[in-house]
């Protein structure tokens, strides 16, 4: 195919037609044509040449040019696209390194193979431009709800036509056993928009908790206006969900506003979510109170919160246990997701038995270590003493409040406790040394002999070994495997070391070893002030 005057305008008309169909800039299509023609010309004149093509945007005339760059003598590599200063003098008056000499070359005729190659280049460029256009159009719409029409289904994934763009609703983002036929209308949440070299880049979801929050925002004007806020959502898609709301206007009941007149508002959301049962719960800053609300409809007798461990114990009457746990643990699982806490549910009888067991274990500890009779040991436990450290180092006055304990008895108790603890520490230290623990680790401030022993048993024997540990390896933590939370036991977790304390210990070790510059850890006062200002603005 030769580029003649007869088909010059046809090039521009083709470019405009393609651009209009794909909703992209016609200039991008023309650029793709220029690149494809340049590639065809290189196959004719030689791949080493720098051939460029320029298409006039008004007439459609294609101009073929050969470009050669002036380079230094020792940098000349490509004789077809480069030339030295001496060589350039026959074409230019006073050439300098970096100058470019452009000369027009005859247009080429495109054979069948070259035309096919040009077509592929144009199609590829058009696809890339279309993907870029879709990305720019939808990147700011992440987190919103969109309506579309089902185009087709591929391996359980639904391809949705959004009008000028395609999105995918993956199998695990559909509710239950939802099935769609072509042209069915579907409403979904834009979960993610990302650049991809091929395939879909707009991902939808109907199972995301945010989808429910956005549906309520559409149905409840008070949420849209910011009078009511959705604080948390937990879902078992297609089955049951819990949503926590708070009102910033004392005259408006957040739960009643979300339910609507005769349940009209919540029913509209339920219908969209294929009959998913929704519990609307009032949000409360006090975590135990919020948890009691979250476990509705079960009644709770007592709540014990361990903030450091992020755990909470809930005691319920025997007849309320199955209701609190829910079918297959659904109610307690959703309450846990809603509050962000690990929830242990037990009956009043189980809690009583557990406390009795703890009481007996602590009593036995004081009997064995302090050489006390059972009655005296029970007195210590009843007064709230849980371990030997508390007895050994507590203020003397706290021991004197116990019936029958005078100053001499209190001093004797503390002496026995300290003697036992010292013996334990010595035994742990000897054990750690026998396991190969080095002085650099033993003398590190913040680690007790028992901690050093536990570390040595786990293969951490030097300060360098300790400095390479992650905070969760020391303090423990939780990971999610196949949707289930799995506990990772920490080496120092039995000693009550928190994640923050583990971070501080590891960082201190790295500073001592010179791995980290202490100056990098100190935040400039200006930064702190800026952060405080930002937090105040957000509040």
Q: Share the mean pLDDT of the chain.
A: 82
Tokens 């069948």 belong to residue: 112
Give residue 528's Cα distance to chain centre.
25
SS3 (DSSP) at 467: helix
| 3-state SS, residue 412 | helix
Among candidate residues 182, 207, 232, the one where a domain is terminated: 207
pLDDT at 198: 66
Give the residue, 9 or 30, on which the prediction is more confident. 30
Work out the pLDDT band at 231, boundaries 50, 70, 90. very high
Question: Cα 430 from chain centroid?
Answer: 44
**Domain end call among 395, 424, 453:** 424
Contact by Cβ (8 Å): 288, 273: no
Structure tokens at 166: 């395609």
Express each pLDDT in 59-86 by its tens digit.
777 788 888 888 887 778 787 788 888 7
Same domain, 114 and 48: yes
Lowest mean pLDDT among 84-93, 274-283, 490-499: 84-93
Model pLDDT, residue 529: 47
pLDDT of residue 532: 47
**Tokens 């007592």 belong to which residue?**
302
CATH of the domain at 368: 1.10.150.20
Same domain flag for 418 and 451? no
Q: Would you say residue 340 lies in a domain?
A: no
Question: Is residue 252 within 8 Å of residue 233, measured between CB atoms?
Answer: no
Q: Examine the domain organization and report whether 25 and 107 are in the same domain.
A: yes
The dihedral sign for the CA sequence 378, 379, 382, 384 = negative
Question: Rounded distance, CA 356 to CA 154, Å?
Answer: 59
Is 219 contained in some domain?
Answer: no
**16 shares a domain with 121:** yes
Burial of 88 (0-12, 13-18, 19+ CB in 10 A): buried
Mean pLDDT score, 28-53: 77
How large is the average pLDDT for residues 482-507?
A: 83
- CB-CB neighbours of 56 under 10 Å: 13
pLDDT of residue 462: 92
Q: Smallest Cα–Cα separation from 452: which of 505, 401, 500, 489?
A: 505
| 144-to-38, 141, 214, 223, 342 alpha-carbon distances in Å | 44, 6, 7, 15, 30
Residues 6+ apart with CB under 8 A from 433: 442
d(CA 27, CA 13): 12
In the predicted model, what is the mean pLDDT of residues 151-180?
85
Residue 256 falls inside a structural domain:
no
User: Does residue 245 lie within any of the structural domains?
Assistant: no
The total domain count for the chain is 4
- Kindly report the pTM of this predicted structure: 0.57
Q: Distance from CA of residue 181 to its chain's centroid? A: 34
In a shared domain, residues 515 and 404: no
Reference 485, options 473, 476, 497; nearest CA is 476
User: Dihedrals φ, ψ of 204, to 5°?
Assistant: -105, 160
- The reply to whether 108 and 49 lie within a common domain is yes
Q: Which of 37-51, 123-137, 301-315, 316-330 has the highest mean pLDDT?
A: 316-330
Residue 180 lies in a domain: yes
Residues 168 and 118 in one domain: no
| CATH number of the domain enclosing 92 | 3.30.1480.10
274 part of a folded domain: no
Q: How confident is the model at residue 522 (pLDDT cuts 50, 70, 90)?
A: low
Task: Specify whether 114 is located in the same domain as 203.
Answer: no
Give residue-wise pLDDT tens across range 358-416. Answer: 889 888 988 988 888 888 888 888 888 888 888 888 888 888 888 778 888 888 888 99
- Measured CA distances, 185 to 148, 171, 313 (Å): 6, 17, 45
Q: Do 44 and 88 sit in the same domain of this protein?
A: yes
Helix/strand/coil for 165: coil
> Is 76 part of any domain?
yes
Secondary structure (DSSP) of 85-128:
HHHHTTT-SS--TT-EEEEE-------HHHHHHHHHHHHHHHHH
Same domain, 383 and 475: no
* Triad 473, 479, 481: Cα angle to 5°: 135
3 state DSSP class of 477: strand
Q: Read off the pLDDT of residues 92-131 as tens digits, 9 standing for 90 and up.
A: 878 888 888 888 887 776 556 555 666 676 677 777 777 7
Cβ atoms of residues 238 and 274 within 8 Å: yes
Output phi, psi for 190, to 5 deg.
-75, 105
Mean pLDDT of 27-53: 77
Question: Any idea what DSSP says for residue 307?
Answer: T
53 domain-assigned:
yes
Residues 479 and 511 in one domain: yes
pLDDT band at residue 451 under the 50/70/90 scheme: very high
Considering the chain, what percentage of its residues have pLDDT values greater than 90? Answer: 21
Cα 46 off chain centre by? 51
Pair 388, 494 in one domain: no
**Residue ranges of the alpha helices (H) in 490-539?**
499-512, 518-521, 525-538
Domain ranges, residue 103: 5-130
The closest alpha carbon to 234, from 283, 286, 170, belongs to 283
Cβ contact 90:79 at 8 Å: no
């Amino acid at each position: 195919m030769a580029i003649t005057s007869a088909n010059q305008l046809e090039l521009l008309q083709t470019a405009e037609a393609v651009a209009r169909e794909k909703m992209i800039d016609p200039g991008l299509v023309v650029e793709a044509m220029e690149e494809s023609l340049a590639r065809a010309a290189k196959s004719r004149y030689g791949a080493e040449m720098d051939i460029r093509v320029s298409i006039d945007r008004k007439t459609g005339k294609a101009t073929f040019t050969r470009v050669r760059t002036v380079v230094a003598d020792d940098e000349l590599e490509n004789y077809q696209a480069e030339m030295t200063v001496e060589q350039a003098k026959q074409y230019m008056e006073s050439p300098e390194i970096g100058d470019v000499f452009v000369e027009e070359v005859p247009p080429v005729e495109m054979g069948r193979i070259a035309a096919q190659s040009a077509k592929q280049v144009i199609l590829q460029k058009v696809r890339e431009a279309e993907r870029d256009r879709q990305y720019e159009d939808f990147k700011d719409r992440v987190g919103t709800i969109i309506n579309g029409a089902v185009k087709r289904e591929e391996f359980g994934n639904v391809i949705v036509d959004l009008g000028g763009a395609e999105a995918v609703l993956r199998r695990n983002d559909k509710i239950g056993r939802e099935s769609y036929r072509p042209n069915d209308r579907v409403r979904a949440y834009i979960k993610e928009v990302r650049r991809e070299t091929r395939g879909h880049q707009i991902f939808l979801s109907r199972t995301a908790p945010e989808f429910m929050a956005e549906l309520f925002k559409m149905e409840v004007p008070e949420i849209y206006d910011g009078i009511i806020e959705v604080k948390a959502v937990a879902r078992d898609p297609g089955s049951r969900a819990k949503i926590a709301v708070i009102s910033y206007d004392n005259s408006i009941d957040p739960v009643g506003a979300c339910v609507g007149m005769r349940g009209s508002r919540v029913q509209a959301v339920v219908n969209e979510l294929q009959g998913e049962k929704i519990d609307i719960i009032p949000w409360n800053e006090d975590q135990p109170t919020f948890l009691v609300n979250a476990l509705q409809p079960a009644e709770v007798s007592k709540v014990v919160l361990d903030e450091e461990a992020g755990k909470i114990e809930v005691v319920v009457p025997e007849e309320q246990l199955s209701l609190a746990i829910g079918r297959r643990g659904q109610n307690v699982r959703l309450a846990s997701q809603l509050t962000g806490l690990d929830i242990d549910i037990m009956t009043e009888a189980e809690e009583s038995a557990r406390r009795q067991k703890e009481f007996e274990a602590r009593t036995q500890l004081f009997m064995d270590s302090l050489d006390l009779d059972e009655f005296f040991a029970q007195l210590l436990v009843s007064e709230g003493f849980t371990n030997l450290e508390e007895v050994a180092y507590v203020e003397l006055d706290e021991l004197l409040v116990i019936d029958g304990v005078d100053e001499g008895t209190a001093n004797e108790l503390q002496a026995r406790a300290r003697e036992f603890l010292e013996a334990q520490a010595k035994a742990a230290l000897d054990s750690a040394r026998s396991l190969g623990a080095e002085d650099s680790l033993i003398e590190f401030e913040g680690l007790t002999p028992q901690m050093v022993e536990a570390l040595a048993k786990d293969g951490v024997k030097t300060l360098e070994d300790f400095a390479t540990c992650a905070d969760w390896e020391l303090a423990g933590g939780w990971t999610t495997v196949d949707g289930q939370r799995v506990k990772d036991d920490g080496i120092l977790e039995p000693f009550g070391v928190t994640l923050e304390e583990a971070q501080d210990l590891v960082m201190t070790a790295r500073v001592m070893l010179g791995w980290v510059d202490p100056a990098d850890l100190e935040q400039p006062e200006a930064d702190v002030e800026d952060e405080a200002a930002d937090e105040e603005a957000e509040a």
